[in-house]
Amino acid sequence: MNEQEQMESFYEIFDPSLPRLGPGDAGSTRRALRAALGGPTDDLTVASAGLRIIDLGCGNGAQTLVLAVETGLEIEALDNHKPFLQELDRRARAAGLAGKIHTREGDLLALDCEDASFDMVWCEGAIFIMGFRKGLARIRDLLAPGGSLALSELCWLKDDVPEECRSFFESQYPQMSDVSANLDTARACGYEVLDWFAQPESAWWEPYYTPLGEQVALLREGYAEDIDRSAMLDMVELEIEIYRKYHDCYGNVFFVLKR
Ligand SMILES: C[S@@+](CC[C@H](N)C(=O)[O-])C[C@H]1O[C@@H](n2cnc3c(N)ncnc32)[C@H](O)[C@@H]1O
């Protein structure tokens, strides 16, 4: 399989119609939003009035829709895969939020936003694309002073991780760090930490791994003769199985930071 075919196969698995493209749920997005807005507040629309918000690596926009509903604001949503943005546009129209969400095709590795042009940057499951430290530093430039950054990132949750799990991530995401190292990095990059929390296990299953597993099963029927594509499906299934076995060892952690 050449690179082009690999990408096609990847996007066949990660189809825009999936509920979302990484672990997460509306409750976690709301909790992080509340923290980013400064803590307990009854009316998030009042607390967020006038803020300029961008959602980086928005995908098909599960969290963008939550942000738009909760804040009542217009939100910019950036991703480099057009079919995800088209799906987000469709979902926004269906939810009566068409004028609220402005999708933009763009590259996280070459962001062309002006410095200090946002009061809040959202980035669920996509900071790893820039690298944790580099991403924090780049996003800090985009934030106006006092602005906030909410992101989710895979983190180790304990030290004594069984070999099978450790070696899976050594091959798939060797940069994965633990919470306290990431908090140190955030502070070193000039942020105050407002909150952090590991998303619940349910945020991995209902919205993400369960439908992804169904998608894999569906594709497998047509891939029986295709060794390369079958191997990609095997990898997704292995990732799901690793989480099923070792979900106490790592998690998707929300960090809510203030510039
Ligand atoms: C793990 S998904 C997270 C999507 C969404 N935030 C969610 O939680 O469902 C990562 C997203 O980053 C996007 N992405 C990957 N590389 C990118 C790049 N260089 N520039 C912009 N977006 C990118 C992918 O298309 C995908 O939508």
What tens digit of pLDDT does each residue of 188-211 get? 999 999 999 999 999 999 999 999
Q: Is residue 57 part of a domain?
A: yes
For residue 106, report the distance from its CA to the centre of ligand 1, in Å. 11
Which domain covers residue 173, as residue numbers? 20-201+250-258
The domain spanning residue 176 has which CATH number? 3.40.50.150
Q: Is residue 72 part of a domain?
A: yes
Segment 145-156, tens digit of pLDDT: 999 999 999 999
Total domains in the chain come to 1
Average pLDDT over residues 3-32: 96
Q: Is residue 15 part of a domain?
A: no
Q: Is residue 233 part of a domain?
A: no
| Cβ atoms 76, 102 nearer than 8 A | yes
Average pLDDT over residues 78-91: 98
pLDDT score for 38: 86
Q: Model pTM? A: 0.96
Interatomic CA distance for residues 209 and 188, integer angstroms: 34
Ligand 1 pocket, Cβ-based, cut-off 6 angstroms: 20-22, 24, 57-59, 62-63, 79-81, 84, 107-109, 124-126, 129
Q: Is residue 171 part of a domain?
A: yes
Q: Is residue 226 part of a domain?
A: no
Nearest-CA residue for atom 4 of ligand 1: 59
Segment 200-248, tens digit of pLDDT: 999 999 999 999 999 999 999 888 888 999 999 999 999 999 999 999 9
Q: Is residue 243 part of a domain?
A: no
Q: Is residue 118 part of a domain?
A: yes
For residue 29, report the distance from its CA to the centre of ligand 1, in Å. 16
Query: Which has more pLDDT, 92 or 226?
Result: 92
pLDDT score for 43: 82
